[in-house]
Structure 1
Amino acid sequence: MSNPPYINAAFRSSRDYEVYFFAKNKYVRLSYTPGGTDDKILTNLTLISSGFPSLGTKYVRIDYDSKQLVGSIRNIADGFPVLNGTIFESGIDACFASHKESEAYLFKGDKYVRIHFTPDETDDTLIGDVRPILDGWPVLRGIFPVS
């Protein structure tokens, strides 16, 4: 899998409303407001020593507190039919669970979408359209794309 110049991986911090974004061999940490655009950079682009593995067209649930797998590895299209017909049906570069209940942010290339999900159900909904990352996260202008 190639490393796109935008987000390769992302995860929510253990601190409220903080997220890490990884691109190529660097990361940035920021505070965010769900659905807002008043985000703040907390840590500028910094080198990282290792990346995160990609599951391609598969996904797995992880219990954030116990750090254990919940269930087995599944196809994205089977577990999230709402993603069929979007760029996300063939893979997700990065995602993180929002601090808002049952919401997550999905990233692929230079695009993202918010999703409302219910674990073990398949009636998830997209919150808005698939959008360019820099439109929804303007605080990242000048940081992404990483060259």
Structure 2
Amino acid sequence: MVGRAAVNITGTDESYWFKGDKYVRYKWTPGTGTDSIVYGPTEFVKEWPSLKEAGFNQIDAIMPIPGHDHRAYFFSGDKYARIEYVPGTANDKILGGVRPLKGNWLSLDKAGFKHVDGALLVPGKTDEVYLFCEEQYVRIKFTEGQINDELLDGPKAITTGWSATGFKSIDTIIPRPDNEKNAYLFSGDKYVQIEVAVGGKDKLVSDQRDVASYWPSLHKAGFY
């Protein structure tokens, strides 16, 4: 758990990025290297009442919830919260309380995952997601707000199922906003862009690169 996570803000060219106890609102254009910090970095507990209420001191992964532009699962250590937020305001709220992963994500219990390092919705699906923990990953089926998730695939080694990345572990994931099949996967100070092929071989769109060189504003903000 490196305490780093990101989520795109639907309908904009911006994303929220979290690292440690800080967050930024980040503007970027995929494939150009053009980026800027719109707001921050600042402590997220000062501006996200839901995260303060949850008692989270870092965000490890964020999983967007399909069908809701501004709703997501936020994972922190062995706990999680379902949060609805309004970009640019402090009107975010917890839906359903703060809960332990154990007993609430049956698929993760089965896989032996005690925390979540990254999450990526399966392209073309509204009820499936890849979840990453240390050097392994799973694909699960879920229903928002219900304890009925199913383990569909895994746990498997990232080096096996995501061999195109060249990474042993993945600590941050953000989908490419203009192409749902593509995603950026980060590991330490490197990243790759891949085209996700469910059940097949992922295609490497751009090979391992230094985050600092291609996401300069995140580097200046101290996130990399």
TM > 0.5 fold call: yes
User: What's 1:136 paired with?
Assistant: 214
> Which protein, 1 or 2, shows the higher relative CO under an 8 Å CA cutoff with sep ≥ 6?
1
Change (3 A) 1:140 1:58: same
Offset of residue 40 of structure 1 = 2.4
User: What's 1:107 paired with?
Assistant: 186
- Pair 1:71 & 2:67 matched: no
User: What's 2:33 paired with?
Assistant: 37
Per mean C-alpha deviation after superposition, the further-off stretch among 137-146 and 66-75 is 66-75
Change (3 A) 1:129 1:81: closer
Change (3 A) 1:74 1:45: same
Highest CA radius of gyration, 1 or 2? 2
Offset of residue 106 of structure 1 = 0.8
Aligned AA (1:114): Q
* SS of residue in 1 equivalent to 2:164: helix
Offset of residue 66 of structure 1 = 5.5
- Pair 1:119 & 2:198 matched: yes
* SS of residue in 1 equivalent to 2:33: coil
Offset of residue 73 of structure 1 = 4.9
Tell me, yes or no, if the aligned pair for 2:140 and 2:153 is still in contact at 8 Å.
no
Query: Where does the alignment leave 5 or more consecutive residues of structure 1 unmatched?
Result: none
Q: Deviations over 1:20-75 (max 9, x none)?
A: 22222212121211111222212211223522232111234578x95877834532
* SS of residue in 2 equivalent to 1:39: strand
User: What's 1:81 paired with?
Assistant: 163
Tell me, yes or no, if the aligned pair for 2:185 and 2:192 is still in contact at 8 Å.
yes
Aligned AA (2:188): G
Aligned AA (1:12): N
Number of aligned positions between the proteins: 137
Q: Distance in 2 between matches of 1:60 and 1:12?
A: 22
Aligned AA (1:77): T
Counterpart of 1:8 (choices 4, 8, 15) is 4
Question: CA-atom RMSD, angstroms?
Answer: 2.9
* SS of residue in 1 equivalent to 2:24: strand
Q: Deviations over 1:114-138 (max 9, x none)?
A: 11112222x2122222111111112
TM-score w.r.t. the length of structure 1 is 0.74
Aligned AA (2:162): F
TM-score w.r.t. the length of structure 2 is 0.52
Change (3 A) 1:79 1:133: same
Counting aligned pairs with the same residue, the percent is: 32
